[in-house]
Structure 1
Amino acid sequence: MISTSAAWFAFLLFAGAMTYAGIRDVATMTISNRVVVFLVIAFAILAPAAGLNLATVMSSVVVASAVLACTFVLFAAGWIGGGDAKLLPVAVLWLGADLALPFILYTSVIGAALTVGLLQLRRVPLPLALKKNAWAKRLLDRETGIPYGAAMAPAALLLLPESHWCSVLL
């Protein structure tokens, strides 16, 4: 019983945290360290409570660590933001080693569409109604980066039903 309840709680918690991170990234162009740390701690507590075996947990940790190393190289090169460099491996930790590559692929495709869309929107004058909104001005500023948390969130939500959290539920 505890494993099913913990798996449901983990499923909903991860979905909510990723949604929050994506929306917050669009609004502020930042991904909070608190969200990242919270997800790491929650995984450490909920994975054993949900009945995930040690091999599943360890493979997730190893792959997430490799992704973290890669994202910090990308961050050091100035290609991605620090929040993105931390959220991507944490999402991989939660989704599991088997879904790491699909998650990165989905994030890339959604991120590419987001990037093209924002670049197109940034080419046109900002409507008067949006000029009053600080978040819209920041998002549509040509000098601002792309909020990749907004690509990671839907990618994670699309793959979450295939994750080990749902295998516990079935």
Structure 2
Amino acid sequence: MCALLWLAVIDVRERRLPTRIVLAIGALFLVDAAIVRMPGASLLAHTLLACGVFAICALLFAARMLGGGDAKLAAIIFLWTGPALSLPTLCLISVIGTLVSCVSLATRRLDATQRSATRRVLALFSSRRGVPYGVALALGGGTTIVLPALLPLLTR
């Protein structure tokens, strides 16, 4: 989750998602799958879902509707969540993405030279630089990755 939060910060600041970090998150899925001894059929289902998401996102990238880093991160998020959590993941990412887009549109006239620290931070979200959709992917995806592991602890 920390790596995903770091990606969100990088996306807000620089409007890019470093491939090395995205691939490291994907590699951690393979480590986790080995530790929990994920059955081969489940591993295949997770992988096929990630490939399908990447194919769809690649088309969106080709149409200039999504960034390349966002396409890679979306595939990795769905690799982690798998088919069972794909719909909740998509819904949560969509809701957070809508909020991020609204903030980006609302702050489009702000710039980084604002006197107020709050306005300078909000200016980082300005849609003039593009919408940092990696924030929605990181927060929505990270929540659906971590929450199932936390539920048993919260219901004690």
Q: TM-score, normalised by structure 2?
A: 0.83
Match of 2:73 in 1: 87
Say whether the 8 Å CA contact 2:7–2:134 is kept in structure 1. Answer: yes
Please list the CA deviations of residues 44-70 of structure 1 after superposition, one character each: whole Å capped at 9, or x if unmatched.
233112221112111100111000000
Q: Hey, what does 1:113 align to over in structure 2? A: 99
Indicate which of 122, 147, 154 corresponds to 2:139. Answer: 154
Q: Is the 8 A contact 2:108 2:128 kept in 1?
A: no
CA shift, 1:125, in A, is 6.7
* Distance verdict in 2 for CA 1:125–1:71, change over 3 Å: closer
Cα separation, partners in 2 of 1:28 and 1:94, compared to 1, 3 Å: same
Shift of 1:129: 4.2
Q: How many residues align?
A: 151
User: Structure 2 unaligned runs (5+)?
Assistant: none
**Greater mean deviation of Cα atoms: 150-159 or 86-95:** 150-159
Which structure ranks higher in relative contact order (CA pairs < 8 Å, sequence separation ≥ 6)?
A: 1
Are 1:36 and 2:30 counterparts? no
Moved over 4 A (4+): 135-138
RMSD of aligned C-alpha atoms? Answer: 2.7
Q: Which runs of 5+ in 1 are unaligned?
A: 1-14
State whether residues 85 and 144 of structure 2, in contact with CA within 8 Å, keep that contact through their aligned partners in structure 1: yes
Q: Distance in 2 between matches of 1:20 and 1:152?
A: 12
Q: Following the alignment from structure 2 to structure 1, what is the Cα–Cα distance between the partners of residues 20 and 43?
A: 22
Does structure 2 conserve the Cα–Cα contact (< 8 Å) formed by 1:27 and 1:136? no
User: Partners in 1 of 2:45 and 2:91 — Cα distance?
Assistant: 19
CA contact (8 A) 1:36 1:87 kept: yes
Q: How far is 1:162 from its partner? A: 4.9
Superposition deviation, residue 137 in structure 1: 5.3
For residue 128 of structure 1, the aligned residue among 108, 112, 115 is: 115
Q: What SS does the corresponding residue of 2:90 show, helix, strand or coil? A: helix
Q: Does 1:98 align with 2:84?
A: yes
Identity of aligned residues (%): 28
Task: Answer whether contact 1:29 1:139 (CA < 8 A) is retained.
Answer: no
Q: Distance in 1 between matches of 2:146 and 2:111?
A: 40
